[in-house]
Each structure stands twice: as structure tokens, then as C-alpha cells.
Chain A
Amino acid sequence: MLEFYLAQVVNGLIVGLIYALMAVGLSLIFSVLKIVNFAHGDCYMIGGFFSYYLATLLGFHPIAAVFVGMLGVMAVGILIHQLLLKPLYTPKVERKGEYAILMTFGIGIFLQNLAMALFGPWTKRPPDFIPGVTKLGFLFIDNNRLVVAGVGIVIMLVLLYVIGRTFIGKALRAVSQDRDAAAIVGVNPVRMNLLAFGIGVGLAGAAGALIGPVFLISPVMGILPGVKSFVIIVLGGMGSIRGAIIASILLGLVESLGSVFFLDPTRGLAYKNAFGVLLLALVLLFKPTGLFGEKFVRLE
């Protein structure tokens, strides 16, 4: 039986890493732009389709397709930012919070319907990163999941390095802490917003591209991960990248173990998505700002 629980823990960790890749992008966008990107799940979906077509139509290696797909989604993100989100920083938009919510919601619905029209409703599976299964003693792990976990860790380490150790990272953090003060010392906040939005949706795109061979792709694939990302960033603390990573892994473990420990085993999987919300409610009861959140953030 110990083997069974270990298998559940390993599965929960891998799923948690997948969630993390998606959630850190959303967290980065929130920390710098102070808006919640409701189109995040749909950027995840676009990443899945970009990499699918790069691999199947243009013959890219599946791993290369992930990175090129990520760049493609970054480009889409930059376009969205420049065309639709830039008015946020001008005085002509009075109710910035509402504008951002409505705009990103609208973009999400548009992207989903565009994908339905362009790619059809059919479920698709991108080529495997590495076909087959790895047997580690009693554990059977799909090679694709191992690749997703490995590449996900690398991407997150690079992100943490960039945010923590480079000039760009310092500039992003400066804007996230105080836009005016950052501007006074020569950091262009609008440029940092653009960069944060591009990187944020690019990370969602990478997550969607990586997840394709594991959970398959379809125009609606981003709906649930999008919702889970919101749960994660609130759980981890709005705007905290470290919090988002820890909350993602926690959510993966809670979902995996919760569905097998649930009192009524016939309903465990039916309530799987509810475990995250329950966890969130419990954390918020005792720590209203989430695990690593700041006390107050708002788009000024």
C-alpha cells in the first residue's frame, strides 16, 4: 500500500509542477501590471495549438516546438498589450480595474472562439517528447510527464534567476513595488508592463505547449487550468512568484491525495476540483493575503 501512496505523491508533484508553470505567468502579470489576466487560460490553449502545428505541419522537434510556440504566444501577448491594454496607463481610462477585467475576459472569449473556428472542436495530440513509459521500481511514469516536469523546473529556475539576479528582474520588481519611484530612477514602467505581460502569457503558452502530449489539446483546454491558476495565485499570495510555485505543488498534492482519501471513494474524483477551493478557503481564513502575499495591491 505504501507503493500506492508514493505513486500518488509522485503524480501530485508532477501535476503541481505543471500548474506552477501556468500560475507563475499569471502571478508575474499581476505583480507588475496589477491586473488579473482572465485570458490566461486561452493563452495556454494558443500555446498548445502553436506547438502542435509547429511539430506536425512544419516538422519542428516537439521540444523546439514548445519554445518556438512560447515565443509565438509572447508575440501575441505583446500585440494584445500594445493594442488593447496600453490605454490602461492613460488618463482616458478612469476605471482601470473594470477595464482590465472586461478587456481580458473579452480577449479570452475571442481567442477561444477563434480557435474553435480555425482548428475545429476536435481533440488533438501533439507528438510525444519521448514516447513510452519509465519504470522506476513499482512506479510507471509517462515519459512526457517527466519531460514536462524537467522542462518546467528549468523554465522556472531561469525565471527566478532573471527576476532575482538580473537588471531586468530588478526593474520588474521595482515597478511591481512602486511605479512612480521606479520611473524616477529611470525605469520605464510601460515598457516593464509590456515585458511582464509578454513573459507572463509566454509562460502560459509554454505550459499549454508542454501539456499537449499529456492532457491533449482542444479549444477549451484552457478553461479549467485558467481557473486553477487564479486559485493558485490567491493561495500563494497575489503577485508572489515564490508563493505561486509553492501553492501549485501544494494544489497538485492535495488533488492527488484528496481524491483517493476522500471518505466516499466513489465520489473522490467528482470533488477533485473542489479540493483546491477548500484549501484556498482554509488558508484565507487564517492568512487572508495568501501564503506569501502583500497586504494591498491595486492598479493606480
Chain B
Amino acid sequence: MRKLFVVLAALGLGFLGSAAEYILIGGVAPLSAPGAAESGHEMKLAMEMAVAEINAAGGVLGKEIKLVVEDTRGLPEEGSAAMNRLADMGVVGVVGEFHSAVAKAEIEVAKARKLPFIISEAWADVLTAKQYKYVFRIAPANSLFYTKVADWIRAVGFKNVVAIVENTDWGLGVNGVLERELGTKPNIYGEKVKYTYIVAERTVTDFTPQLLRFKAMRPRPDLIMNIFTGTGEYLIVKQAAEIGLAPTRETAMFAVGTSALYPEFWETVGDYGLFVITKTGYHPILGVTPAIKEFVSKFREKYGRTPTFAAMEAYDSIYTLVKAIEMAKSTDPDDIVAALEKVRHDGVLGTIYFSTEKEPAWMYHQWPGAKAVVIQYTEVGQKYTEALLLWPAILKP
């Protein structure tokens, strides 16, 4: 028994000894159902690519970086457990997440365990509005972006807008911004914009009953906001087209979720995707910097698909965290947070830095430089990078 104890103790010390040889960074993303696994996988690939490059260039503080990506499955309780596991493993910081509801649980662990956390692709205002010391965000806040979408809706002159909203923090957050913005200001013709919405669970596969309801509305809606991600987003596009509702001359379709940018969009909706409107945080019209060109080309070469801005955000998150560690010359969480508040990293999406302003509340530790554009597919099978630009918006609060 004593021998066994000695062996186990030696193994434990060996493990601790080897842990000191590298710096452990955590990643969180939905890699399986019911989360948006397609987005989570893309983010994971981008994180791994960033870590491989940093290690090839010598690592940080003279040590190699090891990345551990935990699957949050799109579930808040899994996200919370994943953050705790990462903290127990001794990670010096965490990046990632796609679902706002999950990130909402994760920021509580980040706060409690003093874990610097850069949220890569979760948009709900509340995530930074809580103004937690250890929480930073590269993705735009809903209010940062969707006020601009509301501006676009008014500028085009839409006056009868309906929305199908995913029953998640992200979906309800987007809906809240649109309802507030469209309800307070008239459209370009001075008309009041009528905004109607329905909420649906992420698991719904048949949206036809509600789409038929929209079709029976008089006057007919002139814009459908498809505030869904993943399969639901594709199904709404497909089923709205099947019943002759949208996209048509009378009714436009705005697919809000990131899934509309993936190649699977065309595989799943086919011809019905023609004239669908969507949004992206990256488009060549925003300027193809050498950093973007290099990232897109490397990602395509390595993984055989064009990355979306979710991948770019995850990639930039890793580099930004590593730069902060380098600036801090320490892996102490408070030192890293102090460095993150001062960091300026020339990333793929632009120069990443975090605001320390506390008004509006969501601006705290938010990257204010996120750009986004509204685009429309004008050919079947078109890449989002070649889609027609409808609304350029260099976002400023």
C-alpha cells in the first residue's frame, strides 16, 4: 500500500512538473447537440490554428501553449461545468463560446474563479453589461449591431415587419433591440413600422403553421426577420419559400444567424436561398487587409472551407489573450486582466482593444471596433464574400 502511495505521489509530482513546462489555455464552444456544433467546430479549428502558429513562433513567456477545448453542447449547465473543469485544470484564461445563454452561465464561473474570459461569438448585451472584471468580448453586442439593422429596415422603407425568434438569450436579445428601435422611430417615408414577432423553440422543425399565418396577414409582411441559427434558420428559409411567402417581390427574408454564411446554407436551402438577406462581420468590401487575406488562405488550405467571422473572432481571441499574457509577463489573472484593458492587438478583424467605458453598460470590456454589413445573395450558390452589399456600417456606439 505504501509503495502504491509513493508511486502515485511521484506520478502526481511528475504531472505538476510537466504542467509548469507549458501554459494552459481553455476554449469553450458547442461541439455537439443541441448546440450549434457547426459553428463550434469552426471556432475550435480557428483556435487550434492560432495556438499552432504561436507555438511555432516560440510560444509565450518562453513556454509552449496547450489548448483544451471543452464541449458546452449549447447548454448553460454544461458551459458552467466546462468552465469549472478548465479552472480545475489550471488554465490561465478562456476564450470562445457561441451561445449567449451558455456564456451567461460561464461569466459567473469566470467571475467566481477569477478566470480571464474573452467571449468570441456570443452577442447578448447582458454578457458585458454585468461589467465583470474578468469578462471581455470581441463579438459585437446585440445593441451595437442590431440598432444599425433597424436603421437599415427604416431606410429601405419597410413598414410591416414580422420575426420568428429563437427562444434563447441571443434570439430574444436581437428581438428586444429590433422591437425597441423600430417601435420608436418611423421609416424613411415617415410611416410607423409595425413589428410583430413570434417565439419558437430551437428544436422546432415545422414552421409552416406560423408562416401560413404570416402569409394570411393583410397587409402582407414586407420583411421576415429569421432570428434563428443552425437547422432552424435553414428550415425557415426553405419552408417560407415552399409556401410562396418569401423571398418574393412582396416579402423579403433576412436570415440573421451565422449559419446563413456557411456552405451548408446552399446545400440545404438550394434555390430558395436566392435573394435571402443576411449579415456578416467580415466582407471584402470592408477592406481585405493582409491579415484577413492570410488568415482566409491558411484556413482554406488547412480545413478546405472559407471561414466565417466566428472563426476570425475565435482566432483573434487566442492571439489577444496571448498578447495580454506577454504584456503582463505573468499568468496571474489580475495581471492578465490589467493587460487586457490596455492591449492593442492587430488581428484579423482589425485592431482589437477593449473599452473601459461603463456607459452604455454593455460597452464595458467590449471591443467597439466590430464591423458588420448587410448583404444579399444574388446568385444561387454564391459565397457570402461575393454577395451584394446592402448596408455598410462601420459600427460606432
Interface residues of A (CB under 8 A from B): 1, 3-4, 7-8, 11-12, 15, 112-113, 116, 120-125, 133, 140-142, 215-216, 218-221, 223-224, 255-257, 259-260, 265-270, 272-273
A260 touches B213 (CB 8 A): yes
B234 touches A216 (CB 8 A): yes
Whether, in the assembled complex, B386 has its beta carbon less than 8 Å from a beta carbon of chain A, the answer is no
Whether, in the assembled complex, B235 has its beta carbon less than 8 Å from a beta carbon of chain A, the answer is yes
B216's contact among A4, A112, A113, A224, by CB below 8 Å, is which? A4
A224 touches B41 (CB 8 A): no
Whether, in the assembled complex, B200 has its beta carbon less than 8 Å from a beta carbon of chain A, the answer is yes
Whether, in the assembled complex, B264 has its beta carbon less than 8 Å from a beta carbon of chain A, the answer is yes
When distances are taken between beta carbons in the complex, the residues of chain A under 8 Å from B203 are 223-224, 273
Given contacts A1-B216, A224-B203, A269-B209, contact A124 B268 (CB under 8 A): yes
Interchain Cβ contacts within 8 Å, total number:
120
Looking at B29-37, B51-59, B317-325, B335-343, the stretch in contact with chain A turns out to be: B29-37
A to B CB contacts below 8 Å, 26 in the list: A4-B212, A4-B216, A112-B33, A113-B32, A116-B33, A116-B37, A121-B33, A121-B37, A121-B41, A123-B38, A123-B231, A124-B268, A140-B242, A142-B242, A215-B205, A215-B235, A223-B203, A255-B206, A256-B209, A257-B209, A260-B213, A266-B198, A268-B210, A270-B167, A270-B198, A272-B201
Whether, in the assembled complex, B270 has its beta carbon less than 8 Å from a beta carbon of chain A, the answer is yes
Q: Which residue on chain A has the smallest CB distance to residue B267?
A: A125
Given contacts A3-B216, A215-B235, contact A269 B164 (CB under 8 A): yes
B199 touches A122 (CB 8 A): no
A270 touches B200 (CB 8 A): yes
A266 touches B206 (CB 8 A): no
Minimum CB–CB distance from A1 to chain B (whole Å) comes to 7
Minimum CB–CB distance from A139 to chain B (whole Å) comes to 9
Known: A123-B234, A269-B201. 4 other contacts (CB 8 A): A215-B206, A215-B235, A216-B231, A269-B200
Given contacts A1-B216, A216-B234, contact A123 B264 (CB under 8 A): yes
When distances are taken between beta carbons in the complex, the residues of chain A under 8 Å from B196 are 266
Complex: A272 Cα to B164 Cα, angstroms:
14
Complex: A221 Cα to B198 Cα, angstroms:
23
A267 touches B198 (CB 8 A): yes
Complex: A3 Cα to B231 Cα, angstroms:
29
Complex: A120 Cα to B267 Cα, angstroms:
15
Whether, in the assembled complex, B207 has its beta carbon less than 8 Å from a beta carbon of chain A, the answer is yes
Minimum CB–CB distance from B98 to chain A (whole Å) comes to 12
Complex: A216 Cα to B267 Cα, angstroms:
10
Whether, in the assembled complex, B355 has its beta carbon less than 8 Å from a beta carbon of chain A, the answer is no
Q: Which residue on chain A has the smallest CB distance to residue B35?
A: A121
Complex: A272 Cα to B206 Cα, angstroms:
10
Whether, in the assembled complex, B204 has its beta carbon less than 8 Å from a beta carbon of chain A, the answer is yes
B41 touches A120 (CB 8 A): yes
Complex: A1 Cα to B213 Cα, angstroms:
10
When distances are taken between beta carbons in the complex, the residues of chain A under 8 Å from B216 are 1, 3-4
B205 touches A224 (CB 8 A): yes
Complex: A32 Cα to B201 Cα, angstroms:
35
A124 touches B164 (CB 8 A): no
When distances are taken between beta carbons in the complex, the residues of chain B under 8 Å from A15 are 206
B212 touches A11 (CB 8 A): yes
Minimum CB–CB distance from B283 to chain A (whole Å) comes to 23
Minimum CB–CB distance from A39 to chain B (whole Å) comes to 15
Whether, in the assembled complex, B131 has its beta carbon less than 8 Å from a beta carbon of chain A, the answer is no
Complex: A264 Cα to B161 Cα, angstroms:
18
A223 touches B264 (CB 8 A): no
Chain B residues 132 to 180 lying within 8 A of chain A, measured CB to CB, are 164, 167
Minimum CB–CB distance from B370 to chain A (whole Å) comes to 26
Complex: A141 Cα to B207 Cα, angstroms:
14
A259 touches B199 (CB 8 A): no
Q: Which residue on chain B has the smallest CB distance to residue A135?
A: B244
A266 touches B199 (CB 8 A): yes
Minimum CB–CB distance from A145 to chain B (whole Å) comes to 8
Residue from A121, A142, A220 having most chain B Cβ neighbours under 10 A: A121
Minimum CB–CB distance from A190 to chain B (whole Å) comes to 35
